[in-house]
Every structure is written in structure tokens, then in C-alpha cells.
Structure 1
Amino acid sequence: MKYGIVIFPSKKLQDIANSYRKRYDPHYALVPPHLTLKAAFEANEDQINDIIHELRKIAKRVKPFTLSVYKFSSFAPVNNVIYLKVDPVPELIQLHELMHNGVLEGQPEYAFVPHITIGQQMSNDEHSDVLGRLKMLDIKHEEQVDRFHILYQLENGSWTVYETFLLGEDED
């Protein structure tokens, strides 16, 4: 089965992202706006039990933090993805790094650029036009993050929460 690990922002930030995603992101109906901590990966039932155990330990190690969105940006020319840029605070970097060690070991495909995708798979002209308009907007949003989620992919391609992990919790 295919899994991924993400942070879902607040409803307020999801509404902002979705106001663009419904027009510019073909994955709009498959997954809510999110910040990817670990991209999609395959795991069987035995592996996922070990991964869940590891994620519980990771969650205890990382304290809740402030997620700050401060501009629109793009991955062009590598690909035509437009996103909300997230400030790479130390806790977020730590969380991402821990998601690629131990039973989760593996090099990420790309360098970690914390973001929330709002548009992808656009033509060069559309990408340039949309990004130009968005860069003129002033966006500043802050919120507390106290959890992350492991998702799994359903047969129809959509993603749903498998388990949620609270940051900084001291439980066994």
C-alpha cells in the first residue's frame, strides 16, 4: 500500500490554498492542502506497524511549532508547481530529517523546501501568468502546528488519514 506523511494546516489556511487549488491543481479532489514531510512510499502491513511505532517516537521528540506562510513561489524551471512558501523553522526541519532515518530511511527525491502546493501540471504560459499575479499579493499567515499524519492512498487515488501523531506528547 502507498503511504505519505504530512501536516495539514488549519481550515483557514486550507481555505486560502483551496481557493487556488480548485482551479490550478488537478489533485484538488484527491487530498486536502498539506505540507509533505515524507513523499509517497510503499509499505506492507509488517512494515507499517514498525513505521507507526517510529512515528510515535518522532512525535514525542519534536515540540509544537509555529507554521508561517509568507509568500507565493514556484519550483520552475524544474517543474511548474506554484506553492505557498513555509518558513523552514528548526522544528520543521528536524521533523523532516527524522522522517528519513531509522525504519523510514531513504533519501528524499528533492531537497526539502517546506511548502503547500496550490497549482501544478500547468503549461509554461499559464504558470507564468498565474505566478506573476500571485507574487503581487501580500500573504502572511501564522498558526501553531501540534500534529502530523500518516495517510494512505485509496484505490480511487484519493488519500485518507491512517493515524495522527501529536507533537511533544509524553505518553507510551
Structure 2
Amino acid sequence: MTKYGIAIFPSKPIQDDINSYRKRYDPHYALIPPHLTLKEAFEADDETIYELVTELKHIANDTEPFKLQINKVSTFAPVTNTIYLKVEPTKQLIDLFEKMQTGKFPENMEYNFVPHITIAQKLSHDEYSDVFGSMQMKDIQFEDTVDRFQLLYQLDNGTWTVYESFVFGKEKV
């Protein structure tokens, strides 16, 4: 069984900006680029993935490109000392997320959907307070057009790599 996940990667300039924070505060920095998780990690065999890829193609075909608004620093505290960039929960984004929680997809939703891009996690309490305090003062605003999502899989060393990209609004399969 392999571990998979589904995510949206922001454009390269936005990733570079976000990585300037992540490389200092996110221990997963080297394992995966900045991303917005659409489907939490799940395990699947080859046959299941084959079925899911077909499903993902249909979802992508039925989705038009849309804008992501990334507009403030927030946190999951006190549950975890995770700091993230909030992504506006647009109708298109929520619809896309919900399509990946039904049908052939494994039911593995651990938390409510809070669209975000993690910039810091696994911080000590003192570190968290300092980092969150300084990050909150920054005026972080990005707008990005999303036209695809990625099915990822995890390698033995913990890094995540793209299994397949799904471009929105392509011809019907």
C-alpha cells in the first residue's frame, strides 16, 4: 500500500515567497512544496488508484480555473502550534474539496475543511508565540489562478512527489 494525497500547488512566485517562511519554521519544508490540501493522506493499492485517477479526470474536466485569495496569517492553536496562510473558501474550492470526499474516495476526513497553506508547524510554545506574533504583522496578500490539482504519493524517505496532474476544463474523457 502506498500513501497518497491530493493538493493544489500555488504558482512558483507564490511558492518562493511562502518558502522563505517555511524553510525556517516548517520541518516538512524539504518533503513537499507549499500546497493547499484537498484530500488528506490515505493509503491505496494500484487498483484503487487507477479508479481514483479516472474519477479525478472527471472532476478536473468539470472544473473551471478559479482564483485563490490568500490573505492573512492564522493558526490552528490551541489544537496544534501550526501557523498558516488562510485561503478564502470560495464556492469553487469547496466544491472541488467536497467531490474528493465522496464516491470512490476513502472517507478519511480528520478535520473540517479549512483551506490553508502551512508555513510553520511543530513549534515549541515559545517559538510559536514569537513566530505567530511577527507573522501577524506582515501584510500577506496573494491572488493566484488555479487551473490544476495534483495526485501525490509519498516515497520511502517521506518526501511527496507528483503521481499525476489534472488540468481543469480539458476535453471530456
Return the TM-score normalized by structure 1.
0.98
C-alpha offsets along residues 117-156 of structure 1, whole Å, 9 cap, x if unaligned? 0000001111111111111111111010000000000111
Aligned position for 1:46: 47
Cα distance between partner residues in 2 of 1:24 and 1:6:
21
Aligned position for 2:103: 102
Aligned position for 1:35: 36
Aligned position for 1:169: 170
Choose 113-122 or 101-110, whichever is displaced more. 101-110
Unaligned runs of 5+ in 1: none
Aligned residue type for 1:156? N
Q: How does 1:115-154 map to 2 (within 5 A)?
A: 115-154=116-155
Cα distance between partner residues in 1 of 2:158 and 2:138:
32
Aligned position for 2:58: 57
Aligned position for 2:23: 22
Cα distance between partner residues in 2 of 1:68 and 1:16:
15
Deviation at 1:21, TM superposition (A): 0.7
CA RMSD of aligned residues (A): 0.8
Deviation at 1:169, TM superposition (A): 1.7
Structure 1 outlier segments of 4+, above 2 Å: none
Cα distance between partner residues in 1 of 2:103 and 2:17:
35
Aligned position for 2:161: 160
Deviation at 1:170, TM superposition (A): 2.4
Deviation at 1:107, TM superposition (A): 4.6
Cα distance between partner residues in 1 of 2:61 and 2:129:
42
**Paired residues of 1:5 and 1:38 also in contact (CA < 8 A):** yes
Cα distance between partner residues in 2 of 1:86 and 1:48:
28
Deviation at 1:42, TM superposition (A): 0.2
Cα distance between partner residues in 2 of 1:125 and 1:46:
46
Aligned residue type for 1:84? L
C-alpha offsets along residues 96-128 of structure 1, whole Å, 9 cap, x if unaligned? 000101100415100000000000000111111
1:3 aligns with 2:4: yes
**Paired residues of 1:62 and 1:94 also in contact (CA < 8 A):** no
Return the TM-score normalized by structure 2.
0.97
1:77 aligns with 2:88: no
Deviation at 1:171, TM superposition (A): 2.8
